[in-house]
Amino acid sequence: MGRRIAATAGLGLALVLSSCGLLSPAGDARPSSPHRSSSLPRARPVPAGHGSRTAHDFNGDGHPDLVLDSLLAPSGGHDDDPGIGIVYGSAHGLVPATRELLTPARHAAPTAGTVPASFDAETVCDLDRDGFSDLVVTTDPPYDGIGRPPVPVQLLFGSPHGLGPARAVKLRIPDRARFGNEWPDQPVCGDFDGDGAPDLAVTASGPRISYLRGPFTHTGAPKAAGAPVDIPGTALATTTPLSSSDIDGDGTDDLLVRAADPGRRARSRLALGGPRGPLRAGPAAYPPGYATVFGRFAGAGRGVTSVTADTGGLLSVGGRPGGIRTGAGRIPTLAAGDVDHDGNPDLVVAGSRPALLSGAANGLSTTARRLPVPRLPGSGRPHSTVLALADFDGDHRADLVLLTQRDRTHDRVTVLPGGPSGLAARPEHSFTTADFTAP
């Protein structure tokens, strides 16, 4: 979950990545959980890796890992952020027993001796190109409201033993790359100039970004940064296609830019990458909605197509408004992945009634298959968010990780493996985020 911090008011609005929901859902509240002890096995040491090119692989063992944000606080806990949970992967998939809790007290960089109260996971990429993925977080450093605020973005570098041994460093944004007095926010990774090194885009004031060229040093400094870049909007999100973020196929990643903060309904547009970064606006705006993803949804040989989810999970495919009704309900999140290994991307639409739309050679199915949702105590309708849709067990089929919440006092993480017939009907793993903070 990201955090836009208003320059005149200190802490600001919570926001959600409007793409595939790689990290956490919206909502600042972290009420105490009724759980008193963890239902998971005792935490195991993180296995040492030697570095890999696998995405989201913090310990470099060749297996993707999972980030969990917005953890439920332990019973009797304080209002401070309980931290970020990491579940490490293996050759057989995610292993909840191999986990870590990253807390502000142990892992955030202090400012003037003050440890930040918030510690929110934002995005993942290998910023220093050492074969170990790195975690980008936002914090809330002290600020008196006068002049330009400090940079709240921090970097946790991966290592052979994961993220646990690290203490974050502050992202260094040169003055020449900043604009106005809004807090730098919504960091997004991508190789926007095509040189092979991950870059970062971070919001500045108005429709501008600080474009920071990678690789990054372990002091948080980018290789280079120029003047702020004008973009066609005010909020950032990843493009989250099936394989890469290069939507127009020119060898550089592209940036999805929205007219409102993630978690709100808005139009979006691409800022196209190039040798000098994401400077050019894409040729067309996408329909209003909460999330947009990209993939070859129109069928074989037809190129990359956009899908935008609007209220109730109404989908617009290829810019055609409201083509598919999914009934997903509430604010939807989207994720694309090949869950059955047939070469066609499938689509998950999450909300109060999450669903799977299967891909085929002639395009995306218009029939929504309901996905199982765990039962939770309390009143009110549960809401599910896509945390990840990726191949965690190495069988070339994408596995779905859902976070289901009710009343912000109960939650459940469920892992549904992909298979020849699609996603499994029963979860392979099921646990609450309170298990990470339980004594």
* Cα-Cα-Cα-Cα dihedral sign, residues 285, 288, 290, 295: negative
Cα 281 to Cα 250: distance, rounded to the nearest angstrom: 14
pLDDT per residue as tens digits for the range 273-321: 999 999 999 988 999 999 999 998 887 667 889 999 999 899 999 888 8
Residue whose pair of structure tokens reads 């970062």 in the numeric block = 200
CB atoms within 10 A of CB 53: 11
Cα 192 to Cα 199: distance, rounded to the nearest angstrom: 7
Residue whose pair of structure tokens reads 């955090």 in the numeric block = 3
8 A C-beta contact, residue 291 and residue 238: no
Residue 434 CA: distances (Å) to CA of 31, 41, 96, 362, 375: 11, 13, 13, 43, 16
Cα 27 to Cα 70: distance, rounded to the nearest angstrom: 8
| pLDDT band per the 50, 70, 90 thresholds, residue 79 | low
21-30, 152-161, 170-179: segment of lowest average pLDDT: 21-30
| pLDDT band per the 50, 70, 90 thresholds, residue 51 | very high
Name the percent of the chain lying above pLDDT 70. Answer: 88
| pLDDT band per the 50, 70, 90 thresholds, residue 5 | very low
3-state DSSP helix/strand/coil % of the chain, to nearest 5:
5, 40, 60
The two three-digit tokens of residue 331, written as one number: 């604010």
| pLDDT band per the 50, 70, 90 thresholds, residue 325 | very high
Q: Answer whether residue 431 shows pLDDT above 50.
A: yes
Q: What is the phi/psi pair of residue 311, to 5°?
A: -55, 135
pTM listed for this prediction: 0.89
Residue 437 corresponds to which amino acid?
Answer: T
Cis? peptide before 215, omega within 30° of 0:
yes
CB within 8 Å of 132: residues ≥ 6 apart: 49, 51, 57, 58, 59, 60, 126, 157, 158, 159, 160
Residue 245 corresponds to which amino acid?
Answer: S
8 A C-beta contact, residue 133 and residue 126: yes
Give kind and range of the element (H or E) at residue 156: strand 153-156
Exposure string of 278-291, with b = 16+ CB inside 10 Å and e = fewer, is bbbbbeebbbbbbb
User: How large is the C-alpha radius of gyration of the chain?
Assistant: 20
Cα 433 to Cα 71: distance, rounded to the nearest angstrom: 5
Distance of CA 125 to the CA centre of its chain: 11
Q: Which residue has the higher pLDDT, 110 or 41?
A: 110
Cα 87 to Cα 430: distance, rounded to the nearest angstrom: 12
Average pLDDT along the chain: 87
| pLDDT band per the 50, 70, 90 thresholds, residue 437 | confident
**pLDDT (0 to 100) of residue 299:** 73
> Across the strands, what pairs with 56?
none
| pLDDT band per the 50, 70, 90 thresholds, residue 353 | very high
Residue whose pair of structure tokens reads 């793409």 in the numeric block = 19
Rounded to 5°, the CA angle 142-209-214 comes to: 90
